Amino acid sequence: MSERIITYHEAIREALREEMEDDARVFLIGEDIAVYGGVYKLTEGFLEQFGPERVIDTPIAENAIIGAATGAALMGLRPVAEIQFADFLTCGFDPLVNMTSTIHYRWGQPVPLVVRAPAGATWAMAGPFHSQSPEAWFAQIPGLKVVIPATPADAKGLLKSAIRDPNPVIFLEQKFLYRRLKGPVPEDRGFLVPLGQAAITRPGRDLSLIAYGTMAFKCLEAAALLAAEGIEAEVVDLRTIVPWDKATVLASVARTGRALVVSEAHHTAGFGAEIAATIAEEAFDQLDAPVRRLSGLDTPIPAHPVLEAEYLPDEKKIAAAARDLAGW
């Protein structure tokens, strides 16, 4: 399968364009996505290619966007709703968690809806209203899948799988990676990455670094630093956190005997706590050290680059935590 190097941003654009070209039921709905082309220009040119009936600008009304998309999904369409920043999923929380997520359970009706949202910090002063990592809010809700890709290939393959899924998917895009990260992506239009499967992105013997999204990328950088010191860290990229690939995580921990769970969300009650608890419950006999977590701080995300850097894990902080764990 031939590949070429493209950005995380372009990979998402390709996935949207290909699914819209291949399936007339797929349409886009959201704020400023048509005429303006999206706040991050992810849908630039889509209005001209697909027309106003399939690329729909809305008012600033996330509740209405999710409600309308849910209704369209119930009528057999496959909407992809964009929420301009993941922070503002709160404005559509009621229909999403009380209605959209429960429909299939209540009467067996598929709801093939994807809600896309740029998430996470940017290392660029976005501040507390545009930098949050809200995955834990939705991970607890039965009926919602939650996807957080960390590479261009996964961004494309997972988004295509999400659009084809028969029920609601929250697709959180790491805006820090949009134009910073390039990687190989297969040219094959049929390329898919299945939901719910983690990836071992770097094998190792001394400890497991378990992460998703931007932190999976940062764990690879940390693993390179550790390798220079003779510490071989295995990096597990979850890719999907609901459902999450428990089997791959537990197998990695069984090989290495140590686990460091890394996320940029707030430390308290973040999804990393669920992973750590599962490891402690189901792999305790295979551990050579306590399970550790490294997360963002339990504060609002600062709107200053120095303070934001203090708030966030990075490759040096990850390497330091891993070094300490490897020496236990």
How do residues 208-262 score in pLDDT, each as one tens digit? 999 999 999 999 999 999 999 999 999 999 999 999 999 999 999 999 999 999 9
Task: Categorize the per-residue pLDDT at 25 as very low, low, confident or very high, splitting at 50, 70 and 90.
Answer: very high
pLDDT at 83 over 80: yes
If DSSP codes are grouped into helix, strand and coil, which group holds residue 287? coil
- At residue 228, the pLDDT reads 97
Q: What sign for the dihedral angle of Cα 84, 87, 92, 93?
A: positive
Domains 3-186 and 199-326 share a fold: yes
**DSSP per-residue string spanning 166-186:** SS-EEEEEEGGGTTT-EEEEE
Choose, from 9, 130, 266, 304, the residue flagged as catalytic: 130
Catalytic residue check, 130:
yes
Strands 292-296 and 182-186: unpaired
Q: Tell me what the mean pLDDT of segment 66-85 comes to.
A: 98
The domain at 199-326 falls in which architecture?
A: 3-Layer(aba) Sandwich (3.40)
- At residue 126, the pLDDT reads 78
Q: Are 168 and 147 in contact (CB under 8 A)?
A: no
- pTM of the predicted protein model: 0.97
Question: Across the strands, what pairs with 118?
Answer: 173
pLDDT at 124 over 80: no
If DSSP codes are grouped into helix, strand and coil, which group holds residue 79? strand
Q: Tell me what the mean pLDDT of segment 304-320 comes to.
A: 94
Q: Are 44 and 32 in contact (CB under 8 A)?
A: no
Task: Categorize the per-residue pLDDT at 1 as very low, low, confident or very high, splitting at 50, 70 and 90.
Answer: low
What is the CA angle 10-28-58, rounded to 5?
Answer: 120
Domain ranges of the chain: 3-186, 199-326
Determine the Cα–Cα distance for residues 261 and 267; give it in Å rounded to an integer.
11
C-alpha atoms less than 13 angstroms from C-alpha of 298 in its C-beta half-sphere: 4
Task: Categorize the per-residue pLDDT at 2 as very low, low, confident or very high, splitting at 50, 70 and 90.
Answer: confident
Residue with tokens 């200053």: 304
Name the average pLDDT for the chain. Answer: 96
| Superfamily per CATH, domain 3-186 | Thiamin diphosphate (ThDP)-binding fold, Pyr/PP domains (3.40.50.970)
pLDDT at 68 over 70: yes
From 126, 112, 215, 220, select the one nearest 172 (Cα to Cα).
Answer: 215
Token pair listed for 324: 């300490």
pLDDT digits (tens, 9 = 90+) for 267-286: 999 999 999 999 999 999 99
C-alpha atoms less than 13 angstroms from C-alpha of 191 in its C-beta half-sphere: 20
Token pair listed for 35: 């005429």
